[in-house]
Amino acid sequence: MERILLVEDDSAIYQPLTSFLRGEGFAVRQASGQREALALLETEEFDLVLLDVGLRDGNGFSVCSAVKQRGGMLDYFLYDFSILLFSVEV
């Protein structure tokens, strides 16, 4: 089963998106901010990261920068996933 990390702090977005993705057969973990996302990336493996650009405790670009600064490595294992940045304006 493909694992997705959804980084989004707006429940009006992450709840239906999580429900949809699970219905399509994906395993989904949700993080509500930059710190939580980075912690999950250090402890779990994902195939895709769906990353909101605007987060309350940072932004999606900061998460990407943190991954890059670590050389794409966590605990000596290379990151092996794709990142998709998105922004929703209402």
pLDDT of 15 reads 94
Task: Dump pLDDT digits (tens) for 43-79.
Answer: 888 888 888 888 888 888 888 777 777 655 444 334 4
* Spatial contact of 90 and 46, defined as CB atoms under 8 Å apart: no
- Confidence grade of residue 36 (pLDDT, cut at 50, 70, 90): very high
Alpha-carbon dihedral angle through residues 11, 59, 88, 16, given to the nearest 10 degrees = -30
